[in-house]
Structure 1
Amino acid sequence: MDLQLKGKSVIVTGGASNIGREIVLGFAAEGANITIGDIDSQQADEVSKEALERGASSVQVAKTDVTDLAQVERLFTKAAESYGKIDVLVNNVGWDKLMYFTETTPEFWQRIIQVNYVGVLNCTHAALKLMIPARQGAIISISSDASRQGEPREAVYGGTKAAVNSFMKTIAKENGRYGIRCNVVCPGVTVPETAQEVGGSSMWAQTGEMFTTEQFEKIAKALPLRKLGRPRDIAGAVAFLASPVAGHITGQVLSVSGGYSMIG
């Protein structure tokens, strides 16, 4: 199916590693013009080369800390100047470290809130300033099934992702009149297949700190589909929701988690 994304101007935050990387490559295969906003510009440069090989019309990288509004605004200015518009924003940046809430500190809470929620606010605000006058656009935010189920050792992270879900629904209601669609994709445990898929700043850089091999096996066995999620699983859902093919879908929260959560 042609998703009608060829030539579209797409911004992907956190596009250098894991899910973000595969999202970039998915848009590349559709012939999009892509701007990668990532704090790890070196890894993003590698992804941009691969994206061009996959068929992207054009790819550029803007080193961006999404918690810094000034840097975010520069990212959007660069994309708009290069491609004339912003058709799609994918709020993909996320970060966590698994700990029970009693083991965490206020400093940890603030980092989680800044990266996972304030970053979405910053990028969405910048996107709307360009999309509203154009009266078109699609925004997809990457959340987590931890926001829907509650998950031990992810109390603060799950809380910020639940905030993203609610925020995006509100933004969808406020801006549908401008032709702007806003949706959320909630991955479950989604594991990069090779070390080359992650940069040094990724929370997956040291996989053993997140999950052991035995834990991965238990997670897979507990899922209805009996397999772990991979970045490509998320990328397909994002490309669909970003495309005109999904033109009557907005304000939705979609779990892509092998059946971990089934919410009607």
Structure 2
Amino acid sequence: MKLDNNVAVVTGAGSGIGRQIALTLARQGARVAIADIDMDGASETVEQIRQDRGREAMAVHMDVTNEAEVTESMDAVAKRFGRIDTLVSNAGIQIVHPIQDFPYAQFQKLMDIHVGGAFLTTKAAVKHMYPQGSGSLIYMGSVHSHEASPLKSAYVAAKHAILGLARVMAKEGAEHGVRSNVICPGFVKTPLVEKQIPEQAHDLGISEEEVVNRVMLGDTVDQTFTTVQDVADVAAFLAGFETNALTGQSIIVSHGWCMK
């Protein structure tokens, strides 16, 4: 298989998109570390991988805002599996407010998880990738890495920052054989997105149906949510792509909502 002997670390893989990415990488031959603060969810993902294909997987507790824990957990994965080939920096949260009502502490929390987490996991992963002369850094961006939406000042700022980090890493990593790319999904109907629907309906003064059909899917070509499998398939493709022909790029998975 394309990812045989590939060792992948997926953050936020105890549920949602991260879980589907982990399952998909494992199905293509990878050994996967499920990194999350929700150890029950992480253990469930590991069990699903083992039952699905009998692949080797492990769960590690990783608060992506804690540098010592990130480094320790990444080192534990490398010790267990012998190497690290792929990092999928996926852990994230969503908080929406009009900016005049946005508590700065919540802005900082979101930035710490998305941007700080991407930085710290990258720093810990390349320590193992650079000496082996290969690796793939995959960041979870968003259409909001390119486009803005009301109420999402923190999220849009974070996703733009991740795009910048990935492009820096494409340049820094090239001499070490390490590629760096960003997946930019449109709206994926996960619990994170479902939570936004009533929040945005309240803040925008419209119905939940209008939030879905006009705000979330209004600019797609087919009024369809992106699926977790759509995103996971792109992650597997990027993990297995072996040259710098594809680095520093953002791959937009959005049913045509955003075309770049």
Report if TM-score (shorter chain) is over 0.5: yes
Aligned length in residues: 252
User: How big is the shift at 1:77?
Assistant: 1.1
Q: For 1:51 and 1:109, how far apart are their aligned partners in 2?
A: 35
Which of 221, 234, 257 is the equivalent residue of 2:231?
A: 234
User: How big is the shift at 1:215?
Assistant: 2.2
Would you say the 8 A contact 2:143–2:185 is kept in 1?
Answer: yes
* 1:25-64 matches, cutoff 5 A: 25-55=23-53, 57-64=55-62
Would you say the 8 A contact 2:174–2:244 is kept in 1?
Answer: no
Indicate the residue corresponding to 1:187 in structure 2. Answer: 185
- Where 1:123 maps in the other structure, the secondary structure is helix
* 1:148-159 matches, cutoff 5 A: 148-159=146-157
Q: For 1:246 and 1:188, how far apart are their aligned partners in 2?
A: 27
Indicate the residue corresponding to 2:203 in structure 1. Answer: none
- Where 1:149 maps in the other structure, the secondary structure is coil
Which of 168, 173, 176 is the equivalent residue of 1:175?
A: 173
* 1:95-244 matches, cutoff 5 A: 95-192=93-190, 203=192, 206=195, 209=198, 212-218=208-214, 219-244=216-241
User: How big is the shift at 1:174?
Assistant: 1.2
Q: For 2:178 and 2:16, how far apart are their aligned partners in 1?
A: 27
Change (3 A) 1:246 1:239: farther
Greater CA drift, 97-106 or 239-248: 239-248
TM-score normalised according to structure 2 size: 0.91
Q: For 1:152 and 1:206, how far apart are their aligned partners in 2?
A: 16
Would you say the 8 A contact 2:213–2:223 is kept in 1?
Answer: no
- Where 2:146 maps in the other structure, the secondary structure is helix
Q: For 1:8 and 1:135, how far apart are their aligned partners in 2?
A: 14
Instruction: Write out per-residue CA displacement over residues 152-195 of structure 1, whole angstroms, 9 at most, x where no aligned residue.
Output: 11111111110110111011111111110000001111113xxx
Higher RCO, 1 vs 2 (CA within 8 Å, ≥6 residues apart) = 1
Indicate the residue corresponding to 1:257 in structure 2. Answer: 254
Letter in 2 for 1:112: L
User: How big is the shift at 1:235?
Assistant: 0.5
Letter in 2 for 1:161: K
User: How big is the shift at 1:116?
Assistant: 0.7
Q: For 2:81 and 2:245, how far apart are their aligned partners in 1?
A: 25
Query: Stretches of 4+ moved more than 6 A in 1?
Result: none
Q: For 1:103 and 1:230, how far apart are their aligned partners in 2?
A: 32
User: How big is the shift at 1:75?
Assistant: 1.4
Cα root mean square deviation, aligned:
1.8
Letter in 1 for 2:94: D
User: How big is the shift at 1:226?
Assistant: 2.2
TM-score normalised according to structure 1 size: 0.90
Change (3 A) 1:119 1:148: same
- Where 1:217 maps in the other structure, the secondary structure is helix
